[in-house]
Amino acid sequence: MTHSAGLPGVAINPAKTRDRKVLAGRRFLVVDDHPHMIDVVCEILRHFGASDLVKAVSAEEALAKCSKRDPFDCVVCDFNMKPINGLQVLQSIRMGTQPHVARDQPFILLTGHGEIDVVKAAVALDVSAYVVKPVAVDIFLTALNRALAPKVALHAAAHYQTVPLAAVRRFQ
């Protein structure tokens, strides 16, 4: 199975080592309250050439590591974290309440839940991609393709404030 990495003329085929450097030069922030999951995601990213990997075990730590001067090509964030979950992080970015993060920051949401309320909220918040754990390489590469593709136009910041997250808080 071959996947585009969102880079013109580049296709990722997990079975071919020539594709291993397709993410070279890319910068990623990986956020999860389970260090093992961070390691799994980082290993996939490293396999395809990413070397600038920043890790965070909470939403607060992740947001503190963001900077508009040295932005991440993509944030890969778990949904089910406390006290701030991944959807809340995404919502605050899209609303523009995180001045050190661009509102159009590419963002992949990871979750152990395929619940429709979580998916609907993520889509309403213009998530770049959504991946259900356990993370399969081919599915994760498809998510990276979406996240690294040219950015889409966002709604006005006020729109994201109206996205209901109450229904998804029950998973915490």
Query: Domain extents for the chain?
Result: 23-171
Give the whole-angstrom CA distance, residue 50 versus residue 52.
Answer: 6
SS (H, E, C) 93-115: HHHCCCCCCCCCCCEEEEECCCC
Residue 171 has pLDDT above 80, yes or no: no
What are the tokens at 103? 């509102």
What is the torsional sign of CA 105, 48, 112, 54? negative
Q: What is the pLDDT of residues 69-123, one digit of tens each?
A: 999 999 999 999 999 999 999 999 999 999 999 999 999 999 987 788 899 999 9
Residue 18 has pLDDT above 60, yes or no: no
38 φ, ψ to 5°? -60, -45
- Prediction pTM value: 0.85
* Direct distance between the N- and C-terminal alpha carbons of the chain, in angstroms, rounded to an integer: 35
What per-residue confidence (pLDDT) applies to 3?
A: 38
Reference 161, options 91, 98, 62; nearest CA is 91
- CATH 3.40.50.1000 matches 23-171: no
Residue 160 has pLDDT above 80, yes or no: yes
> CB 64: neighbour CB atoms within 10 A?
11
Residue 150 has pLDDT above 60, yes or no: yes
